Homo-oligomer: A and B are copies of this chain.
């Protein structure tokens, strides 16, 4: 096991009706003037935003609204948010929404106290300061409610990039599974896929003898496999929603990923996909992960066999572990299909002829992609081709 640091100080209020505690929690964690940041119409239509506002008012917390965050959140809204916060002396950001809204809130939080362009932090600059961010989560997916990361798309440069720092871990997060019962099945499945993918990026590692994090990773994947079909069959299944929601947090606050090399190539490959086509991140991952697995399986057949046996209940073929490894990948694809995910370019609306563009967008001359296997441009191209079913 590698040496590591782990710090996940977010306070979680989890369960039914917990959004009514937003105001009291903002006060407890020192917020005086809040930027209330959210996305599209659903938080308005569902009445959630009104409940959160009422809670803030009841606690005597001042707030300014900034709505309109879109999936794959954009730099334009971040610049706007930074300006509002400075002008209005906002000292606390409350994101009401899913990962996009939270990521946008995090970007604003680091931009406000920084004199330069917030985009610097998405180009590698170290974060030194941030306003506190808190969340009312409406979608179990990105884990941004607890994670140290944020991903933003720069509109002018058509570039999707991430940043990391413990300073942008939310100070509190309100997780009410009821809020996710109105999600369309496709979004529910995209979220589940994103959670699963956060584990896979940690699971496929070259670090040996990390049983505790291996087993924890497996526990989250087993949960997603068991609970997602229940949430799809009955959107109001509170317990299924609750299991998925907590799994989403655990999958990405890094408690399952400490002390081991992590990969993240598939996320990088996917970011270009959703950057180019503006598809849902989870759907993009469903297309890219099986391809990544097939391409890299031979790097460590026994790890893929472990995945097949422990996660998908395959029988181990002791004479031919590769057969088991392949069966695990096939079962993973079947699972994705069963929950309504695309698994190839075509189903996603992506085009094989764009593969050179995608590889170009990865800018592999300036950064490395992958750790389980460090990918070359040729590798990236081959993986995109597998995802596109191009021979």
On A, residues with C-beta under 8 Å from B are 1-16, 18, 177, 208-213, 215-216, 218-220, 222-223, 226-227, 238-240, 242-244, 246-247, 250, 255, 258-259
Contact = CB atoms under 8 A, between A and B. Distances in A.
A250 B239 contact: no
A15 B216 CA distance: 19
A209 B240 contact: yes
A339 B57 CA distance: 58
A220 B242 CA distance: 21
A255 B258 contact: no
Contacts of A11: 5-7, 9
Q: A210, A218, A222, A227: which has the most chain B beta carbons within 10 Å?
A: A222
Nearest to A169: B9
Nearest to A241: B1
Contacts of A250: 212, 216, 255
Given A1-B243, A215-B218, 5 more contacts: A7-B12, A215-B219, A215-B223, A216-B219, A216-B220
B14 A247 contact: no
Contacts of A211: 222-223, 226-227, 243
A12 B1 contact: no
A208 B237 CA distance: 13
Contacts of A8: 8-9
Contact of A246 (B209, B222, B259): B259
A16 B213 CA distance: 18
Nearest to A221: B215
A10 B10 CA distance: 10
B3 A14 contact: yes
B1 A242 contact: yes
B3 A12 contact: no
A345 B12 CA distance: 42
Nearest to A1: B242
Contact of A255 (B4, B213, B227, B255): B255
Q: A1, A2, A6, A258: which has the most chain B beta carbons within 10 Å?
A: A1
A213 B246 contact: yes
A247 B209 CA distance: 13
Contacts of A223: 211-212, 215
A59 to B, nearest CB: 17
A247 B212 contact: yes
A214 to B, nearest CB: 8
B209 A220 contact: no
A208 B62 CA distance: 40
Contacts of A246: 1, 212-213, 258-259
Nearest to A208: B239
B4 A14 contact: yes
Contact of A5 (B13, B215, B238): B13
Contacts of A220: 212, 215-216
Nearest to A207: B239
Contacts of A222: 211, 215
Contacts of A219: 212, 215-216, 218-219
A238 B255 CA distance: 20
Q: A5, A10, A208, A238: which has the most chain B beta carbons within 10 Å?
A: A5
A208 B242 CA distance: 12
10 contacts: A3-B14, A3-B16, A5-B11, A14-B259, A212-B219, A215-B223, A216-B216, A216-B219, A242-B259, A250-B255
